[in-house]
Amino acid sequence: MRTKETLRAECLKKRSALSSEIRAEKTKLIVSTLENTEQLKQSGVILGYWAINEEVNINEVLIDWSHSKTILLPRLINAEQFEVAPIESLADLKENRWRIKEPTTPAYWGPIDLILVPGVAFGKNGERIGMGKGYYDRFLKNHSTTPKWGLAFQEQILDQIPNESYDVPVDLVVTEKQVYQRK
């Protein structure tokens, strides 16, 4: 089996090979699938992510959703952890050291109804490869009962991903073609 590093490099290359127009079309389909789920409709508090590079870009949608839901984004605390804080507009954001926008608002410590998770690659059974820093795995471990959904382009789906004891899988992965449910 190939290593996570090899798979990460391969999937980053596939993802960046998609034109911005293709990524935008695929993102619209992913967002449409999301918005038609009962889970999202009933979720009052959603942890999203601020997309960078060629990730599934839900940035505008998160701002739209913030008018009717509490939308949270991660904010780095240190080299190993993030906390979450709400956003209502672009004015609530500033860039961190990785050039990712994060909230300037006070931290949120209440319950979360749904977590949307970015990734470089996902397995069909919810396994995930991120950027390799472990931020999400550490956070998700403390939210074991909260539904976790990965967002990805079909090109990022792999049959199998090596799994470590500290890896936290997502419950399902939404792509523009289908939804993969963890068994």
Least confident of 16-20, 51-55, 120-124, 131-135: 131-135
How sure is the predictor about 79, in pLDDT bands with cuts at 50, 70 and 90? confident
Which pLDDT score, from 0 to 100, does residue 1 have? 65
As for how many domains the chain has, the answer is 1
Residue 42 sits in which domain range? 4-181
CATH of the domain at 53: 3.40.50.10420
C-alpha angle 91/114/81, rounded to 5°?
Answer: 65
CB 43 within 8 A of CB 113: yes
- Rounded CA separation 148/151 (Å): 10
